[in-house]
Chains A and B, each alone.
Chain A
Amino acid sequence: DTEVTQTPKHLVMGMTNKKSLKCEQHMGHRAMYWYKQKAKKPPELMFVYSYEKLSINESVPSRFSPECPNSSLLNLHLHALQPEDSALYLCASSQPDRVLEKLFFGSGTQLSVL
């Protein structure tokens, strides 16, 4: 299994809603990432988990709350989002000690905030 699975594929939420994005991999990777991507722009790193511990937080607003409950699962909890948070949210995984090893990306969750 060489896939990173993200659910849901599409999500529409209001600014007062609470929702969660889910990412799962079964490749034994111990680093997992959340990226945010606007249309026709590069992905922007949000969070990195290494061995289930948060290692990088790119000054992301607190309305985004990551969680890594185990080595296979990564969640992104969303609360009180703004319309400008509408974007494609990509999850990725890799082995943390192998820098040259590629990141495996999921197909993303397209989020629309109304």
Chain B
Amino acid sequence: AQTVTQSQPEMSVQEAETVTLSCTYDTSESDYYLFWYKQPPSRQMILVIRQEAYKQQNATENRFSVNFQKAAKSFSLKISDSQLGDAAMYFCAYRPSPGSSNTGKLIFGQGTTLQVKP
């Protein structure tokens, strides 16, 4: 069974600084998809960034980027120039490949609460 681990329950960063959130996962599959979702106090889950496992190039979305290390099964999220609006709970998530019977399943890590200090 696939598992996702986020070892940092809480992190804090100064506004305008950079922070990295860690995520590791365990799978025997070679093809899969990884995501970072953000859940602000409004409770709505919002996609931050996504990565296909077969792509070696790290995904970037404006101030958000990932460091994807497939061999190490690591998928960390870097937030640059942190803003107050980035404060939220961040979830790393794994999704099996389309050929898997569990392809509809999004497996979440335990989450990291990010505090942004002004």
Contacts and interface: CB of A to CB of B under 8 A. Distances in A.
Give the dominant DSSP class at A's interface: loop
Given A33-B106, A96-B104, 5 more contacts: A43-B106, A88-B43, A90-B43, A105-B46, A108-B43
Interface residues of B, number: 26
Contacts, number: 56
Given A100-B33, A100-B50, A100-B52, A45 B106 contact: yes
A102 B33 CA distance: 11
B47 A42 contact: no
B98 A50 contact: no
Among A88, A92, A100: residue with most chain B CB under 10 A: A100
Interface of B: 33, 35, 42-47, 50, 52, 89, 91, 95-98, 102-106, 108-111, 113
B108 A102 contact: no
Contacts of B46: 105
A56 B102 CA distance: 8
Given A99-B95, A99-B103, A42 B109 contact: yes
Contacts of A48: 104-105
